[in-house]
Amino acid sequence: MRPIMLQGHTRALTQVKYNSDGDLLLTVAKDKVANLWYAHNGERVGTYEGHEGALWSIDCNKPTTLVVTGSADNTARLWHAETGKQLHVWEFPTAVKRVEFSRDDRHVLMVTEERM
């Protein structure tokens, strides 16, 4: 095993995640950009751009056709994994701190920050 340096973010990483097959890596950071990488060589496949705040969380469905991101801009966004096209935006009153597909890929969990 050799280390791979991923150079695609300008601010601190907030989550790094493998897809279910282990051949792709997903990363998000405080720089408003989500990235998709080949796990075997660290080559960037693409980016998901559109958020206006730091990104806190990322996940993909099992076949890696959909990606979901959660952000400090009070939105969660659904993306087409291959093209990077934004498919849907959910808006919330506070930051989205965690997103995750259910085991059967039928639902997406979105955890928001509670504020008074």
Positive or negative: CA dihedral 79, 84, 32, 42: positive
Residues 35-81 pLDDT 10s: 999 999 999 999 999 999 999 999 999 999 999 999 999 999 999 99
pLDDT higher than 90, residue 3: no
3-class secondary structure, 102: coil
Quote the pLDDT of residue 13.
93
The span from the CA of 90 to the CA of 109, in Å, is 12
pLDDT higher than 70, residue 25: yes
Quote the pLDDT of residue 6.
79
Residue 59 main-chain phi, psi, to 5 deg? -155, 160
Quote the pLDDT of residue 114.
78
91, 51 contact by CB (below 8 A)? no
> Which two structure tokens, joined as six digits, stand for 65?
């056709």
Quote the pLDDT of residue 111.
96
Q: In b/e form, how buried is each residue of 53-91, taking b as 16+ CB within 10 angstroms? A: ebbbbbbbbeebebbbbbbbbbbbbbbebeebeeeeeee
Quote the pLDDT of residue 113.
85
Residues 6+ apart with CB under 8 A from 16: 25, 26, 27
